[in-house]
Amino acid sequence: MIDQAAALRDLVRRCEHEEGSRVTRRLPRVLFIGGKGGVGTTTSAVHATCALRSAGRRPLLIDADLYRADTALLCGLDPARAKAPHAPRRSLRESIQIGAGGIRLLPNLWPSGRPLTLTESSWRRLNEQIDALWPQTDLAVLDAGGSHGEMRRKLWRAAQLVVLVTRPDDLSVMDAYATIKSMHQAGLVPPSQTLCLLVNLVQDADQAADVFARIDRSCRRFLDVTLKWLGHVERAEALERPVPKAAGTEPETPFAAIAARLLEWLPSIGRESPRVESAADATLEGGPQDAVPSAPRDTTGKAA
């Protein structure tokens, strides 16, 4: 833990001296997160980033998964050689890697797979340095995997658009709803934030629509939260392998349509000014812990 704390302090000091520390524009953040691990959050974030790049944006994929940082592998990079920003003499900008298909990746944002705590000032400075990556980057895509606790709340709070990834099984559905409920109870689902659902590894579109209807119905009824439908991904072997090395060689995937839908919601986000976190925000870190509720009632009679 001493080494971890020293690495974080070193990162913060470098952030303070990195060029462009005075933020004039808020870099839009799209957070991919799962209610639990194993639902395909990282795979979805990688392929969505590729699709956004193909659509003409300049996205940067940031691996913010505290416990399983594996975006480098899916991007065709050797994880052992992917330098992290907390490595000696490495800044955020210097740590960006170029992966398969030209995807730009910031791997291993956190120094270890252990719980960590960042002060509000450290967290603010880290976000300022992400914002300072403009204009080479016009969109930050953060992969949080199945992160829990304080780090999940911080990442969620900083995002303008949250993509919650789930699978169609009952446990994944319950965890997805529980995640929304816990964020809502902590005051982290404001009307200005776009919250959408991506249903992964489904048999067909009907099954995906049923899963969305169940979660959306519970969100509206019990939380007064509006959930947007991002789309679904059917099981495909090609999507479970690393992305092709050459741009344009990736087979047709549903992520082209998913990226197009994300871009429909992004223009207004890009004009937001930097957010200054207040003292009240800091109290959210002690918010209620996640509780797994009963499964949303399925009134259609169809099995998820």
What the chain holds in terms of domains, given with CATH numbers, is: 36-119+128-268 (3.40.50.300)
DSSP structure string for 18-37 = STT-S--SPPPEEEEEESST
Task: Provide the 3-class DSSP secondary structure of residue 234.
Answer: strand
Task: Provide the 3-class DSSP secondary structure of residue 198.
Answer: strand
Sign of CA dihedral 292, 156, 64, 100: positive
Q: How many CA atoms lie within 13 A of 84 on its CB side?
A: 20
Q: Say which residue the tokens 């349509």 belong to.
A: 257
Distance CA 7, CA 111 (A): 7
Token readout for 157 is 């709070």
Q: Is 67 exposed, middle or buried (0-12, 13-18, 19+ CB in 10 A)?
A: middle
Closest CA to 163 of 141, 187, 185, 137: 141
43 to each of 47, 192, 282, how far by Cα in Å? 6, 27, 32
Task: Give Cα 35 to chain centroid, integer Å.
Answer: 12
Is-cis flag, bond preceding 135, omega within 30?
yes
Instruction: Give yes or no for a contact between 181 and 223, defined as CB atoms under 8 angstroms apart.
Output: yes
Task: Provide the 3-class DSSP secondary structure of residue 303.
Answer: coil
Q: Say which residue the tokens 């870099």 belong to.
A: 27
For residue 162, report the phi and psi dihedrals to the nearest 5 degrees.
-110, 125
Q: Mean pLDDT, the chain, as a whole number?
A: 79
For residue 243, report the phi and psi dihedrals to the nearest 5 degrees.
-65, 150
Q: Say which residue the tokens 């994929």 belong to.
A: 61
Helices 205-218 and 170-185 sit at what angle, rounded to 10 degrees?
30
DSSP structure string for 187-248 = T---TTSEEEEEEEEESSHHHHHHHHHHHHHHIIIII----EEEEEEE--GGGGSPPPSSTT
List beta partners, residue 142: 31, 62
Distance CA 271, CA 232 (A): 29
Task: Provide the 3-class DSSP secondary structure of residue 197.
Answer: strand
Task: Provide the 3-class DSSP secondary structure of residue 296.
Answer: coil
* pLDDT tens-place string over residues 118-163: 788 889 988 999 999 988 899 999 999 877 788 889 999 999 999 9
pLDDT by residue, tens only, the chain of 304 residues: 555 556 555 665 555 555 444 545 789 999 999 998 899 999 999 999 999 999 999 999 999 987 777 898 889 887 776 655 665 556 788 889 999 888 999 987 876 556 567 788 889 988 999 999 988 899 999 999 877 788 889 999 999 999 999 999 999 999 999 999 999 999 999 988 999 999 999 999 999 999 999 999 999 999 999 999 999 999 887 777 777 665 544 556 899 999 999 999 986 544 443 343 333 333 333 333 333 334 444 333 333 3
